[in-house]
Amino acid sequence: MSDDYVFEMSWKVRDYECDLQGIVNNAVYMHYLEFTRNEFLNKTGTNLADLHAMGIDIVLARITMALKTPLRPGDEVLSKMKIHKEKIKYVFDQDLFRKSDNKIACKATVELVSVINGKLGNSEVVDNLLLKSNL
Amino acid sequence: MSDDYVFEMSWKVRDYECDLQGIVNNAVYMHYLEFTRNEFLNKTGTNLADLHAMGIDIVLARITMALKTPLRPGDEVLSKMKIHKEKIKYVFDQDLFRKSDNKIACKATVELVSVINGKLGNSEVVDNLLLKSNL
Amino acid sequence: MSDDYVFEMSWKVRDYECDLQGIVNNAVYMHYLEFTRNEFLNKTGTNLADLHAMGIDIVLARITMALKTPLRPGDEVLSKMKIHKEKIKYVFDQDLFRKSDNKIACKATVELVSVINGKLGNSEVVDNLLLKSNL
Amino acid sequence: MSDDYVFEMSWKVRDYECDLQGIVNNAVYMHYLEFTRNEFLNKTGTNLADLHAMGIDIVLARITMALKTPLRPGDEVLSKMKIHKEKIKYVFDQDLFRKSDNKIACKATVELVSVINGKLGNSEVVDNLLLKSNL
Protein backbone atom coordinates (compact mmCIF):
# COMPACT_ATOMS: atom_id res chain seq x y z
CA MET A 1 0.00 0.00 0.00
CA SER A 2 1.37 3.36 -0.97
CA ASP A 3 0.79 6.85 0.38
CA ASP A 4 1.16 5.98 4.07
CA TYR A 5 -2.17 4.21 4.18
CA VAL A 6 -1.99 1.62 6.97
CA PHE A 7 -5.14 -0.27 6.10
CA GLU A 8 -7.42 -0.81 3.15
CA MET A 9 -10.42 -2.93 2.30
CA SER A 10 -13.16 -3.01 -0.30
CA TRP A 11 -16.80 -4.01 -0.65
CA LYS A 12 -19.76 -3.53 -2.93
CA VAL A 13 -22.50 -0.94 -2.54
CA ARG A 14 -25.74 -2.55 -1.40
CA ASP A 15 -28.93 -1.36 -3.10
CA TYR A 16 -30.67 -0.59 0.20
CA GLU A 17 -27.90 1.89 0.99
CA CYS A 18 -29.11 4.11 -1.86
CA ASP A 19 -31.87 6.64 -1.48
CA LEU A 20 -34.47 8.46 -3.54
CA GLN A 21 -31.76 10.20 -5.55
CA GLY A 22 -30.38 6.83 -6.70
CA ILE A 23 -27.09 7.32 -4.92
CA VAL A 24 -25.58 6.10 -1.67
CA ASN A 25 -27.25 8.03 1.16
CA ASN A 26 -25.02 10.54 2.94
CA ALA A 27 -25.31 8.84 6.30
CA VAL A 28 -24.14 5.55 4.80
CA TYR A 29 -20.71 7.09 4.23
CA MET A 30 -20.38 7.36 7.98
CA HIS A 31 -21.22 3.68 8.22
CA TYR A 32 -18.60 2.93 5.58
CA LEU A 33 -15.99 4.93 7.46
CA GLU A 34 -16.93 3.36 10.79
CA PHE A 35 -16.96 -0.09 9.22
CA THR A 36 -13.43 0.45 7.91
CA ARG A 37 -12.14 1.72 11.25
CA ASN A 38 -13.69 -1.24 13.03
CA GLU A 39 -12.14 -3.73 10.62
CA PHE A 40 -8.83 -1.98 11.24
CA LEU A 41 -9.43 -2.22 14.99
CA ASN A 42 -10.19 -5.93 14.64
CA LYS A 43 -6.94 -6.40 12.77
CA THR A 44 -5.05 -4.71 15.60
CA GLY A 45 -6.78 -6.94 18.10
CA THR A 46 -9.00 -4.18 19.46
CA ASN A 47 -12.42 -5.41 20.52
CA LEU A 48 -14.87 -2.58 21.15
CA ALA A 49 -17.18 -4.79 23.21
CA ASP A 50 -14.26 -5.90 25.41
CA LEU A 51 -13.08 -2.31 25.83
CA HIS A 52 -16.63 -1.25 26.67
CA ALA A 53 -16.69 -3.96 29.36
CA MET A 54 -13.42 -2.47 30.70
CA GLY A 55 -15.13 0.93 30.91
CA ILE A 56 -13.41 2.30 27.82
CA ASP A 57 -15.35 3.56 24.83
CA ILE A 58 -13.67 4.94 21.75
CA VAL A 59 -16.06 7.60 20.56
CA LEU A 60 -16.25 9.90 17.60
CA ALA A 61 -15.60 13.50 18.59
CA ARG A 62 -15.47 15.22 15.22
CA ILE A 63 -15.70 14.39 11.56
CA THR A 64 -15.13 16.38 8.40
CA MET A 65 -16.31 14.68 5.26
CA ALA A 66 -16.30 15.88 1.67
CA LEU A 67 -18.41 13.97 -0.82
CA LYS A 68 -16.95 14.08 -4.33
CA THR A 69 -18.24 11.42 -6.73
CA PRO A 70 -21.55 9.81 -5.80
CA LEU A 71 -21.51 6.04 -5.38
CA ARG A 72 -24.26 4.01 -7.01
CA PRO A 73 -25.71 0.48 -6.78
CA GLY A 74 -23.17 -2.09 -7.85
CA ASP A 75 -20.15 0.16 -7.39
CA GLU A 76 -17.15 -1.39 -5.69
CA VAL A 77 -15.81 0.80 -2.90
CA LEU A 78 -12.13 0.89 -2.03
CA SER A 79 -11.54 2.25 1.45
CA LYS A 80 -8.12 3.37 2.70
CA MET A 81 -7.06 4.90 5.99
CA LYS A 82 -4.16 6.47 7.86
CA ILE A 83 -3.97 7.11 11.59
CA HIS A 84 -2.00 9.39 13.88
CA LYS A 85 -2.41 10.85 17.35
CA GLU A 86 -2.83 14.55 18.21
CA LYS A 87 -2.85 15.12 21.96
CA ILE A 88 -5.63 12.85 23.19
CA LYS A 89 -7.26 12.47 19.78
CA TYR A 90 -6.81 9.61 17.34
CA VAL A 91 -7.05 11.16 13.89
CA PHE A 92 -8.09 8.89 11.04
CA ASP A 93 -7.63 10.17 7.50
CA GLN A 94 -10.00 8.12 5.46
CA ASP A 95 -10.56 8.01 1.72
CA LEU A 96 -13.23 6.11 -0.16
CA PHE A 97 -12.65 5.45 -3.85
CA ARG A 98 -14.89 4.14 -6.60
CA LYS A 99 -12.82 1.12 -7.56
CA SER A 100 -13.69 1.02 -11.26
CA ASP A 101 -11.92 4.29 -12.08
CA ASN A 102 -10.16 5.08 -8.80
CA LYS A 103 -12.14 8.33 -8.47
CA ILE A 104 -12.33 9.70 -4.95
CA ALA A 105 -15.88 9.41 -3.62
CA CYS A 106 -15.40 10.60 -0.06
CA LYS A 107 -12.54 12.25 1.80
CA ALA A 108 -12.84 12.34 5.55
CA THR A 109 -10.95 13.25 8.67
CA VAL A 110 -12.31 11.54 11.73
CA GLU A 111 -11.26 12.32 15.28
CA LEU A 112 -11.90 9.75 17.97
CA VAL A 113 -11.28 10.01 21.69
CA SER A 114 -11.21 7.56 24.55
CA VAL A 115 -13.93 7.93 27.13
CA ILE A 116 -12.87 6.13 30.30
CA ASN A 117 -15.58 5.50 32.84
CA GLY A 118 -17.57 8.32 31.33
CA LYS A 119 -14.74 10.86 31.23
CA LEU A 120 -12.53 11.98 28.37
CA GLY A 121 -9.18 10.35 28.87
CA ASN A 122 -5.93 8.98 27.58
CA SER A 123 -5.65 5.23 27.44
CA GLU A 124 -2.30 3.48 27.00
CA VAL A 125 -4.21 0.30 26.21
CA VAL A 126 -5.83 2.04 23.26
CA ASP A 127 -2.53 3.68 22.23
CA ASN A 128 -0.85 0.32 22.11
CA LEU A 129 -3.65 -1.17 20.09
CA LEU A 130 -4.03 1.62 17.57
CA LEU A 131 -0.63 3.19 17.12
CA LYS A 132 2.05 0.59 17.66
CA SER A 133 0.57 -1.99 15.38
CA ASN A 134 2.39 -3.14 12.30
CA LEU A 135 -0.30 -4.85 10.30
CA MET B 1 -36.72 31.67 17.88
CA SER B 2 -33.58 33.50 18.93
CA ASP B 3 -30.02 33.41 17.65
CA ASP B 4 -30.84 33.72 13.95
CA TYR B 5 -32.14 30.19 13.74
CA VAL B 6 -34.68 30.06 10.90
CA PHE B 7 -36.16 26.67 11.65
CA GLU B 8 -36.43 24.25 14.53
CA MET B 9 -38.14 20.98 15.26
CA SER B 10 -37.91 18.18 17.78
CA TRP B 11 -38.41 14.43 18.02
CA LYS B 12 -37.60 11.51 20.26
CA VAL B 13 -34.63 9.15 19.88
CA ARG B 14 -35.76 5.75 18.63
CA ASP B 15 -34.19 2.71 20.28
CA TYR B 16 -33.11 1.17 16.98
CA GLU B 17 -31.02 4.28 16.31
CA CYS B 18 -28.73 3.31 19.18
CA ASP B 19 -25.83 0.93 18.80
CA LEU B 20 -23.72 -1.45 20.86
CA GLN B 21 -22.41 1.41 22.97
CA GLY B 22 -25.95 2.27 24.07
CA ILE B 23 -25.88 5.66 22.36
CA VAL B 24 -27.23 7.07 19.12
CA ASN B 25 -25.02 5.76 16.31
CA ASN B 26 -22.80 8.34 14.64
CA ALA B 27 -24.39 7.91 11.23
CA VAL B 28 -27.82 8.59 12.67
CA TYR B 29 -26.77 12.18 13.36
CA MET B 30 -26.47 12.65 9.63
CA HIS B 31 -30.00 11.30 9.28
CA TYR B 32 -31.16 13.74 11.94
CA LEU B 33 -29.48 16.65 10.17
CA GLU B 34 -30.86 15.60 6.78
CA PHE B 35 -34.30 15.06 8.26
CA THR B 36 -34.27 18.59 9.66
CA ARG B 37 -33.12 20.14 6.39
CA ASN B 38 -35.80 18.24 4.50
CA GLU B 39 -38.52 19.38 6.88
CA PHE B 40 -37.24 22.92 6.37
CA LEU B 41 -37.31 22.38 2.60
CA ASN B 42 -40.88 21.13 2.85
CA LYS B 43 -41.82 24.24 4.79
CA THR B 44 -40.34 26.41 2.04
CA GLY B 45 -42.27 24.48 -0.57
CA THR B 46 -39.19 22.68 -1.90
CA ASN B 47 -39.95 19.17 -3.09
CA LEU B 48 -36.79 17.12 -3.69
CA ALA B 49 -38.64 14.60 -5.88
CA ASP B 50 -40.06 17.41 -8.05
CA LEU B 51 -36.66 19.06 -8.33
CA HIS B 52 -35.13 15.70 -9.23
CA ALA B 53 -37.74 15.37 -12.00
CA MET B 54 -36.65 18.83 -13.22
CA GLY B 55 -33.06 17.61 -13.36
CA ILE B 56 -32.01 19.40 -10.19
CA ASP B 57 -30.55 17.57 -7.22
CA ILE B 58 -29.48 19.33 -4.06
CA VAL B 59 -26.54 17.28 -2.85
CA LEU B 60 -24.32 17.33 0.15
CA ALA B 61 -20.81 18.48 -0.72
CA ARG B 62 -19.22 18.75 2.70
CA ILE B 63 -20.07 18.32 6.33
CA THR B 64 -18.25 19.06 9.55
CA MET B 65 -19.83 17.60 12.61
CA ALA B 66 -18.74 17.68 16.23
CA LEU B 67 -20.39 15.27 18.64
CA LYS B 68 -20.54 16.61 22.17
CA THR B 69 -23.05 14.94 24.47
CA PRO B 70 -24.19 11.46 23.42
CA LEU B 71 -27.93 11.00 22.92
CA ARG B 72 -29.61 7.96 24.43
CA PRO B 73 -32.88 6.05 24.07
CA GLY B 74 -35.81 8.19 25.13
CA ASP B 75 -33.98 11.51 24.81
CA GLU B 76 -35.89 14.31 23.13
CA VAL B 77 -33.83 16.00 20.43
CA LEU B 78 -34.23 19.69 19.65
CA SER B 79 -32.88 20.55 16.22
CA LYS B 80 -32.21 24.13 15.08
CA MET B 81 -30.76 25.47 11.85
CA LYS B 82 -29.57 28.60 10.07
CA ILE B 83 -28.87 28.98 6.37
CA HIS B 84 -26.83 31.32 4.17
CA LYS B 85 -25.26 31.19 0.74
CA GLU B 86 -21.52 31.29 -0.05
CA LYS B 87 -20.86 31.44 -3.78
CA ILE B 88 -22.71 28.41 -5.12
CA LYS B 89 -22.93 26.65 -1.78
CA TYR B 90 -25.88 26.66 0.62
CA VAL B 91 -24.40 26.53 4.09
CA PHE B 92 -26.56 25.11 6.87
CA ASP B 93 -25.44 25.66 10.45
CA GLN B 94 -27.19 22.97 12.40
CA ASP B 95 -27.31 22.30 16.12
CA LEU B 96 -28.87 19.35 17.89
CA PHE B 97 -29.67 19.74 21.59
CA ARG B 98 -30.73 17.27 24.25
CA LYS B 99 -34.01 18.89 25.15
CA SER B 100 -34.08 17.91 28.84
CA ASP B 101 -31.10 20.09 29.80
CA ASN B 102 -30.49 22.02 26.56
CA LYS B 103 -27.00 20.51 26.27
CA ILE B 104 -25.53 20.61 22.79
CA ALA B 105 -25.31 17.09 21.37
CA CYS B 106 -24.12 17.81 17.85
CA LYS B 107 -22.82 20.92 16.11
CA ALA B 108 -22.63 20.72 12.34
CA THR B 109 -21.90 22.81 9.29
CA VAL B 110 -23.35 21.31 6.15
CA GLU B 111 -22.63 22.54 2.65
CA LEU B 112 -25.04 21.65 -0.11
CA VAL B 113 -24.79 22.39 -3.83
CA SER B 114 -27.17 22.22 -6.74
CA VAL B 115 -26.38 19.63 -9.38
CA ILE B 116 -28.24 20.52 -12.58
CA ASN B 117 -28.43 17.80 -15.20
CA GLY B 118 -25.41 16.17 -13.67
CA LYS B 119 -23.29 19.32 -13.42
CA LEU B 120 -22.53 21.58 -10.48
CA GLY B 121 -24.59 24.71 -10.98
CA ASN B 122 -26.40 27.70 -9.62
CA SER B 123 -30.16 27.47 -9.56
CA GLU B 124 -32.36 30.53 -9.10
CA VAL B 125 -35.26 28.20 -8.44
CA VAL B 126 -33.39 26.75 -5.48
CA ASP B 127 -32.22 30.21 -4.34
CA ASN B 128 -35.79 31.42 -4.27
CA LEU B 129 -36.93 28.40 -2.35
CA LEU B 130 -34.17 28.32 0.25
CA LEU B 131 -33.10 31.89 0.82
CA LYS B 132 -36.02 34.19 0.28
CA SER B 133 -38.44 32.33 2.44
CA ASN B 134 -39.93 33.92 5.52
CA LEU B 135 -41.28 30.97 7.42
CA MET C 1 -59.56 3.54 20.06
CA SER C 2 -61.78 0.91 18.46
CA ASP C 3 -61.12 -2.63 17.32
CA ASP C 4 -59.30 -3.79 20.44
CA TYR C 5 -56.20 -1.81 19.61
CA VAL C 6 -54.44 -1.04 22.89
CA PHE C 7 -51.99 1.52 21.58
CA GLU C 8 -51.60 3.82 18.63
CA MET C 9 -49.23 6.53 17.52
CA SER C 10 -48.33 8.36 14.34
CA TRP C 11 -45.34 9.97 12.66
CA LYS C 12 -44.18 11.20 9.30
CA VAL C 13 -42.12 9.25 6.78
CA ARG C 14 -38.56 10.57 6.63
CA ASP C 15 -37.01 10.91 3.16
CA TYR C 16 -33.94 8.88 4.08
CA GLU C 17 -36.19 5.94 4.86
CA CYS C 18 -37.08 5.70 1.16
CA ASP C 19 -34.99 3.78 -1.33
CA LEU C 20 -34.25 3.70 -5.04
CA GLN C 21 -37.84 2.81 -5.85
CA GLY C 22 -39.05 6.02 -4.20
CA ILE C 23 -40.91 4.18 -1.46
CA VAL C 24 -40.20 3.34 2.16
CA ASN C 25 -37.63 0.53 2.21
CA ASN C 26 -38.92 -2.85 3.35
CA ALA C 27 -36.61 -3.05 6.33
CA VAL C 28 -37.86 0.30 7.60
CA TYR C 29 -41.26 -1.28 8.26
CA MET C 30 -39.56 -3.44 10.85
CA HIS C 31 -38.14 -0.31 12.42
CA TYR C 32 -41.62 1.24 12.43
CA LEU C 33 -43.10 -1.84 14.08
CA GLU C 34 -40.27 -2.01 16.62
CA PHE C 35 -40.54 1.70 17.29
CA THR C 36 -44.27 1.33 18.01
CA ARG C 37 -43.75 -1.63 20.33
CA ASN C 38 -41.03 0.23 22.19
CA GLU C 39 -43.22 3.30 22.63
CA PHE C 40 -45.92 0.98 23.97
CA LEU C 41 -43.35 -0.60 26.30
CA ASN C 42 -42.34 2.84 27.52
CA LYS C 43 -45.97 3.66 28.22
CA THR C 44 -46.29 0.48 30.29
CA GLY C 45 -43.15 1.41 32.21
CA THR C 46 -41.03 -1.25 30.54
CA ASN C 47 -37.42 -0.19 30.07
CA LEU C 48 -35.49 -2.52 27.76
CA ALA C 49 -32.14 -1.32 29.05
CA ASP C 50 -33.20 -1.96 32.66
CA LEU C 51 -34.54 -5.41 31.76
CA HIS C 52 -31.30 -6.15 29.92
CA ALA C 53 -29.39 -5.20 33.08
CA MET C 54 -31.62 -7.68 34.98
CA GLY C 55 -30.63 -10.38 32.48
CA ILE C 56 -33.92 -10.25 30.61
CA ASP C 57 -34.12 -9.52 26.91
CA ILE C 58 -37.39 -9.39 25.00
CA VAL C 59 -36.45 -10.66 21.57
CA LEU C 60 -38.24 -11.11 18.32
CA ALA C 61 -38.82 -14.78 17.50
CA ARG C 62 -41.00 -14.56 14.43
CA ILE C 63 -42.64 -11.97 12.23
CA THR C 64 -45.12 -12.16 9.39
CA MET C 65 -45.56 -8.96 7.49
CA ALA C 66 -47.70 -8.15 4.46
CA LEU C 67 -46.97 -4.94 2.60
CA LYS C 68 -50.06 -3.50 0.93
CA THR C 69 -49.86 0.18 -0.03
CA PRO C 70 -46.36 1.62 -0.35
CA LEU C 71 -45.57 4.59 1.86
CA ARG C 72 -43.83 7.58 0.31
CA PRO C 73 -41.94 10.70 1.47
CA GLY C 74 -44.22 13.01 3.39
CA ASP C 75 -46.84 10.38 4.18
CA GLU C 76 -48.16 10.35 7.73
CA VAL C 77 -48.13 6.86 9.22
CA LEU C 78 -50.74 5.76 11.75
CA SER C 79 -49.58 2.74 13.73
CA LYS C 80 -51.94 0.62 15.84
CA MET C 81 -51.30 -2.52 17.87
CA LYS C 82 -52.94 -5.26 19.89
CA ILE C 83 -51.20 -7.70 22.21
CA HIS C 84 -51.99 -11.12 23.67
CA LYS C 85 -50.01 -14.04 25.08
CA GLU C 86 -49.79 -17.53 23.58
CA LYS C 87 -47.87 -19.91 25.83
CA ILE C 88 -44.54 -18.15 26.30
CA LYS C 89 -44.94 -15.86 23.31
CA TYR C 90 -46.17 -12.27 23.32
CA VAL C 91 -48.06 -11.80 20.08
CA PHE C 92 -48.35 -8.27 18.72
CA ASP C 93 -50.85 -7.65 15.93
CA GLN C 94 -49.64 -4.49 14.30
CA ASP C 95 -51.17 -2.43 11.53
CA LEU C 96 -49.66 0.56 9.78
CA PHE C 97 -52.01 2.89 7.92
CA ARG C 98 -51.41 5.75 5.51
CA LYS C 99 -53.16 8.45 7.50
CA SER C 100 -54.41 10.54 4.58
CA ASP C 101 -56.84 7.89 3.31
CA ASN C 102 -56.65 5.29 6.09
CA LYS C 103 -55.37 2.68 3.62
CA ILE C 104 -53.55 -0.22 5.19
CA ALA C 105 -49.85 -0.07 4.36
CA CYS C 106 -48.52 -2.95 6.43
CA LYS C 107 -50.17 -5.74 8.38
CA ALA C 108 -47.91 -7.66 10.73
CA THR C 109 -47.96 -10.32 13.39
CA VAL C 110 -44.92 -10.19 15.61
CA GLU C 111 -44.00 -12.82 18.18
CA LEU C 112 -41.65 -11.89 20.97
CA VAL C 113 -40.19 -14.07 23.69
CA SER C 114 -38.34 -13.44 26.91
CA VAL C 115 -34.76 -14.60 27.03
CA ILE C 116 -33.67 -14.84 30.65
CA ASN C 117 -29.95 -15.16 31.27
CA GLY C 118 -29.55 -16.45 27.75
CA LYS C 119 -32.36 -19.02 27.91
CA LEU C 120 -35.90 -18.89 26.57
CA GLY C 121 -38.17 -18.32 29.54
CA ASN C 122 -41.33 -17.03 31.08
CA SER C 123 -41.04 -13.81 33.03
CA GLU C 124 -43.77 -12.64 35.39
CA VAL C 125 -42.11 -9.24 35.43
CA VAL C 126 -42.61 -8.97 31.70
CA ASP C 127 -46.16 -10.39 31.93
CA ASN C 128 -47.09 -7.75 34.45
CA LEU C 129 -45.62 -5.00 32.33
CA LEU C 130 -47.07 -6.03 29.00
CA LEU C 131 -50.40 -7.68 29.71
CA LYS C 132 -51.89 -6.20 32.84
CA SER C 133 -51.50 -2.62 31.82
CA ASN C 134 -54.48 -0.36 31.32
CA LEU C 135 -53.05 2.51 29.37
CA MET D 1 -24.61 -26.35 -3.44
CA SER D 2 -26.89 -28.95 -1.94
CA ASP D 3 -30.53 -28.84 -0.89
CA ASP D 4 -31.88 -27.11 -3.98
CA TYR D 5 -30.36 -23.79 -3.05
CA VAL D 6 -29.74 -21.85 -6.26
CA PHE D 7 -27.59 -19.11 -4.83
CA GLU D 8 -25.42 -18.49 -1.81
CA MET D 9 -23.10 -15.79 -0.57
CA SER D 10 -21.49 -14.73 2.67
CA TRP D 11 -20.37 -11.58 4.46
CA LYS D 12 -19.38 -10.36 7.89
CA VAL D 13 -21.66 -8.66 10.40
CA ARG D 14 -20.85 -4.95 10.67
CA ASP D 15 -20.79 -3.46 14.16
CA TYR D 16 -23.21 -0.66 13.27
CA GLU D 17 -25.80 -3.30 12.37
CA CYS D 18 -26.00 -4.30 16.03
CA ASP D 19 -28.23 -2.56 18.52
CA LEU D 20 -28.50 -1.92 22.24
CA GLN D 21 -28.91 -5.62 22.95
CA GLY D 22 -25.53 -6.33 21.35
CA ILE D 23 -27.03 -8.36 18.53
CA VAL D 24 -27.87 -7.70 14.90
CA ASN D 25 -31.00 -5.53 14.84
CA ASN D 26 -34.14 -7.25 13.58
CA ALA D 27 -34.59 -4.90 10.64
CA VAL D 28 -31.07 -5.64 9.45
CA TYR D 29 -32.15 -9.21 8.66
CA MET D 30 -34.48 -7.76 6.06
CA HIS D 31 -31.52 -5.89 4.60
CA TYR D 32 -29.52 -9.11 4.56
CA LEU D 33 -32.32 -10.97 2.79
CA GLU D 34 -32.83 -8.13 0.30
CA PHE D 35 -29.10 -7.85 -0.28
CA THR D 36 -28.93 -11.58 -1.09
CA ARG D 37 -31.89 -11.42 -3.47
CA ASN D 38 -30.37 -8.42 -5.23
CA GLU D 39 -27.02 -10.14 -5.64
CA PHE D 40 -28.92 -13.10 -7.09
CA LEU D 41 -30.79 -10.72 -9.41
CA ASN D 42 -27.50 -9.20 -10.51
CA LYS D 43 -26.17 -12.65 -11.28
CA THR D 44 -29.21 -13.36 -13.46
CA GLY D 45 -28.70 -10.07 -15.26
CA THR D 46 -31.67 -8.38 -13.61
CA ASN D 47 -31.15 -4.68 -13.05
CA LEU D 48 -33.75 -3.16 -10.75
CA ALA D 49 -33.01 0.38 -11.93
CA ASP D 50 -33.42 -0.67 -15.59
CA LEU D 51 -36.67 -2.49 -14.80
CA HIS D 52 -37.89 0.57 -12.89
CA ALA D 53 -37.16 2.68 -15.99
CA MET D 54 -39.26 0.17 -18.01
CA GLY D 55 -42.12 0.69 -15.56
CA ILE D 56 -41.57 -2.59 -13.76
CA ASP D 57 -40.90 -2.78 -10.04
CA ILE D 58 -40.36 -6.05 -8.21
CA VAL D 59 -41.81 -5.39 -4.79
CA LEU D 60 -42.07 -7.31 -1.59
CA ALA D 61 -45.64 -8.42 -0.88
CA ARG D 62 -45.18 -10.62 2.15
CA ILE D 63 -42.45 -11.95 4.38
CA THR D 64 -42.36 -14.51 7.15
CA MET D 65 -39.18 -14.55 9.12
CA ALA D 66 -38.15 -16.63 12.12
CA LEU D 67 -35.11 -15.53 14.09
CA LYS D 68 -33.29 -18.43 15.72
CA THR D 69 -29.72 -17.74 16.77
CA PRO D 70 -28.79 -14.08 17.22
CA LEU D 71 -25.88 -12.84 15.13
CA ARG D 72 -23.20 -10.75 16.78
CA PRO D 73 -20.37 -8.41 15.76
CA GLY D 74 -17.72 -10.28 13.82
CA ASP D 75 -19.94 -13.24 12.91
CA GLU D 76 -19.69 -14.45 9.33
CA VAL D 77 -23.11 -14.86 7.75
CA LEU D 78 -23.79 -17.53 5.14
CA SER D 79 -26.89 -16.75 3.10
CA LYS D 80 -28.62 -19.32 0.88
CA MET D 81 -31.77 -19.06 -1.21
CA LYS D 82 -34.20 -21.02 -3.35
CA ILE D 83 -36.83 -19.58 -5.67
CA HIS D 84 -40.07 -20.79 -7.26
CA LYS D 85 -43.19 -19.21 -8.69
CA GLU D 86 -46.72 -19.50 -7.29
CA LYS D 87 -49.30 -17.87 -9.56
CA ILE D 88 -48.00 -14.31 -9.90
CA LYS D 89 -45.73 -14.48 -6.86
CA TYR D 90 -42.00 -15.20 -6.80
CA VAL D 91 -41.36 -17.09 -3.60
CA PHE D 92 -37.86 -16.94 -2.15
CA ASP D 93 -36.95 -19.39 0.60
CA GLN D 94 -34.03 -17.79 2.34
CA ASP D 95 -31.84 -19.09 5.14
CA LEU D 96 -29.13 -17.23 6.99
CA PHE D 97 -26.54 -19.28 8.86
CA ARG D 98 -23.84 -18.37 11.35
CA LYS D 99 -20.88 -19.66 9.40
CA SER D 100 -18.70 -20.70 12.34
CA ASP D 101 -21.02 -23.51 13.47
CA ASN D 102 -23.57 -23.61 10.63
CA LYS D 103 -26.37 -22.75 13.07
CA ILE D 104 -29.46 -21.32 11.44
CA ALA D 105 -29.84 -17.64 12.39
CA CYS D 106 -32.84 -16.67 10.27
CA LYS D 107 -35.33 -18.64 8.22
CA ALA D 108 -37.50 -16.61 5.87
CA THR D 109 -40.05 -16.96 3.13
CA VAL D 110 -40.30 -13.87 0.99
CA GLU D 111 -42.96 -13.27 -1.62
CA LEU D 112 -42.32 -10.72 -4.33
CA VAL D 113 -44.62 -9.52 -7.09
CA SER D 114 -44.18 -7.50 -10.24
CA VAL D 115 -45.84 -4.12 -10.30
CA ILE D 116 -46.15 -2.97 -13.90
CA ASN D 117 -46.97 0.68 -14.43
CA GLY D 118 -48.39 0.81 -10.95
CA LYS D 119 -50.52 -2.33 -11.23
CA LEU D 120 -49.94 -5.84 -9.99
CA GLY D 121 -48.99 -7.94 -13.00
CA ASN D 122 -47.22 -10.85 -14.58
CA SER D 123 -44.04 -10.06 -16.43
CA GLU D 124 -42.45 -12.54 -18.83
CA VAL D 125 -39.31 -10.42 -18.74
CA VAL D 126 -39.06 -10.98 -15.01
CA ASP D 127 -39.96 -14.69 -15.36
CA ASN D 128 -37.16 -15.17 -17.83
CA LEU D 129 -34.70 -13.38 -15.61
CA LEU D 130 -35.60 -15.06 -12.34
CA LEU D 131 -36.75 -18.56 -13.19
CA LYS D 132 -34.97 -19.77 -16.29
CA SER D 133 -31.51 -18.87 -15.15
CA ASN D 134 -28.92 -21.54 -14.63
CA LEU D 135 -26.33 -19.77 -12.58
pLDDT tens digits, C9-43: 999 999 899 987 789 999 999 999 999 999 999 89
pLDDT at C134: 55
Closest CA to B50 of A25, A72, C101, A21: A21
pLDDT at D135 over 60: no
Percent of chain D at pLDDT exceeding 90: 67
pLDDT at C80: 98
CB contact under 8 A, D26 and C61: no
pLDDT at B14: 94
**CA of D66: how far to CAs of A41, A64, C46, C61, D112, in Å?**
32, 40, 24, 6, 18
pLDDT tens digits, B11-25: 999 989 998 778 999
pLDDT at C135: 57
Percent of chain C at pLDDT exceeding 70: 96
Q: What share of chain A is helix, strand, coil (3-state, %, to 5)?
A: 25, 45, 30
Highest mean predicted confidence (pLDDT) among B73-82, C11-20, D17-26: B73-82
Highest mean predicted confidence (pLDDT) among B41-50, B90-99, C12-21, D39-48: B90-99
pLDDT at B63 over 70: yes
Closest CA to C31 of C104, C94, C121: C94
pLDDT at C125: 87
Highest mean predicted confidence (pLDDT) among B78-92, D14-28, D47-61: B78-92
More confident residue, C107 or C1: C107
Amino acid sitting at position C21: Q
What ipTM, to 2 d.p.? 0.88
**CA Rg, chain B, in Å?**
15
| Average pLDDT value for chain C | 91
Average pLDDT of span B57-68: 94
Highest mean predicted confidence (pLDDT) among A121-125, C43-47, C87-91: C87-91
Neighbours of B47 (CB within 10 A): 16
Q: For residues B32 and D116, give the distance between their C-alpha atoms in angstroms, rounded to a whole number.
A: 34
C16, C31, C41: best to mutate for the B interface, most B CBs within 10 A? C16
pLDDT at C132 over 80: no
Of the candidates A19, A57, A75, A127, the residue annotated as catalytic is A19
Find chains touching chain A: ≥3 CB pairs under 8 Å.
B, C, D
pLDDT at D133 over 70: no
pLDDT at B113: 95
Average pLDDT of span D61-70: 96
A107 to chain B, minimum CA–CA distance in Å? 9
C27 to chain A, minimum CA–CA distance in Å? 9
pLDDT at D65: 97
pLDDT at B67 over 70: yes
Tell me the whole-structure pTM to 2 decimals: 0.90
pLDDT at C42: 87
pLDDT at C20: 79
Average pLDDT of span D113-127: 91
Find chains touching chain D: ≥3 CB pairs under 8 Å.
A, B, C
Any CB–CB contact under 8 A between D49 and chain B? no
pLDDT at A19: 87
More confident residue, A118 or B81: B81
pLDDT at D1 over 80: no
Phi, psi of A43 (to 5 degrees): -60, -35
Any CB–CB contact under 8 A between C57 and chain D? yes
CB contact under 8 A, B52 and A20: yes
Of the candidates D3, D15, D19, D93, the residue annotated as catalytic is D19
Q: Interior CA angle at B75 toward B74 and B76, to 5°?
A: 115
Q: Where does B4-70 have alpha helices with state H?
A: 26-43, 48-53
A16 to chain B, minimum CA–CA distance in Å? 15
DSSP state string for A92-124: EEEEEEETTTTEEEEEEEEEEEEEETTEEE--H
In B, which residues are within 8 Å of D73 by CB distance? 20
pLDDT at B134: 55
Q: For residues C120 and C113, give the distance between their C-alpha atoms in angstroms, rounded to a whole number.
A: 7
- On whether the CB atoms of residues C7 and C130 are closer than 8 A, the answer is no
Any CB–CB contact under 8 A between B104 and chain A? no
- Is C3 considered catalytic here? no
pLDDT at C74: 87
In B, which residues are within 8 Å of D20 by CB distance? 15, 18-20, 22, 73
D63 to chain C, minimum CA–CA distance in Å? 5
All residue ranges of chain A with pLDDT < 50 are: 1
pLDDT at C83 over 80: yes
Any CB–CB contact under 8 A between B72 and chain A? no
pLDDT at D94 over 90: yes
pLDDT at D25: 93
